[in-house]
Amino acid sequence: MGKISSCYFRKWADNDLRGTPREAYAALLRGWMPPALQLFDARPLLKRLKILAGRKRWRGEQWLWEVVDEGSLKQTRLVFVTATSQSVFEDVVDKYLVWLGLSGIDEASGDIIRGLSPKRNCFTSGQSFERFYDIEAIDLPYLIRRIDARGENPFGILEGSRAGDFVQCLAYGRRYVVEWAQNHYFQSKETVWDQWRAQDAPRLAAMGGSYDGCPLEDDRMAPDLMRYTDALRIFETFLRGEPRPSRYS
């Protein structure tokens, strides 16, 4: 028998209330529906789980699930799924489950399954891979400043409530490379990305208005290297749900 994995699927409510994964899950286990969640129709999920279980059976995997509802599958609180699988749930979410508009928690880690959306946002530290959910603007200075350019994986990623959209930064000394990405997967039914790297306009102008390359640690004048205040401003703009700031090249 392979490794046993388990997760919980539920649906975020259409509001701006905070809903960290562990708090929402704990409330459901107590039989209370927190305002950050809502009941959902589990039938599309169960249909896909049955297809998935059939396709995985030939690999010796067994997929089982349990539904907690209000007397009808149309009014479901959560669906608990277990699988005897060597792989994590992220391997199947993108192909089978991402279109359902649900969110899911990996029971082992207590974190949202990759590919599914947080309630409002999620900041991931590259150096510890710790995730911070539903942060406020006041949290950003601490999260960005704690990225140590001298250590391994000196980056941070802020994901929004729209699956696949994020901003990220990579620390170089006291400056940062900052990128902004939008995923049009749900509109085009295929993986289509728009991704931009911010540039310091005055630096770019000083270099004659053209630059094509990635900054190296000793390339202190590369326009890709942003000051802390600029990196923070871009993250704050994304956090507020506003368009990319036009002040950067």
Model pLDDT, residue 91: 67
**Could you tell me whether strands 63-69 and 103-106 are parallel, antiparallel, or unpaired per DSSP bridges?**
unpaired
Q: Per-residue pLDDT tens for 181-216?
A: 988 765 555 667 788 999 888 888 887 777 777 666
User: Is 1's pLDDT higher than 50?
Assistant: no
User: Is 146's pLDDT higher than 70?
Assistant: yes
CB 108 within 8 Å of CB 85: no
Cα dihedral 234, 111, 51, 83 sign = positive
Any idea of the CA torsion for 49, 55, 58, 60, to the nearest 10 degrees? -30
Burial zone of 235 (CB within 10 Å; 0-12 exposed, 13-18 middle, 19+ buried): buried
Q: Per-residue pLDDT tens for 212-232?
A: 776 665 677 788 899 999 999
User: Is 24's pLDDT higher than 80?
Assistant: yes
- Helix, strand, coil abundance in the chain, percent, nearest 5: 25, 30, 45
The gap from C-alpha 211 to its chain's centroid, in whole angstroms, comes to 31
Residue 54, C-beta contacts closer than 8 angstroms, at least 6 positions apart: none
160, β-bridge pairs: 121
- For residues 157 and 85, the model is more confident at 157
123, β-bridge pairs: 132, 158
In this structure, the chain runs to a length of 249
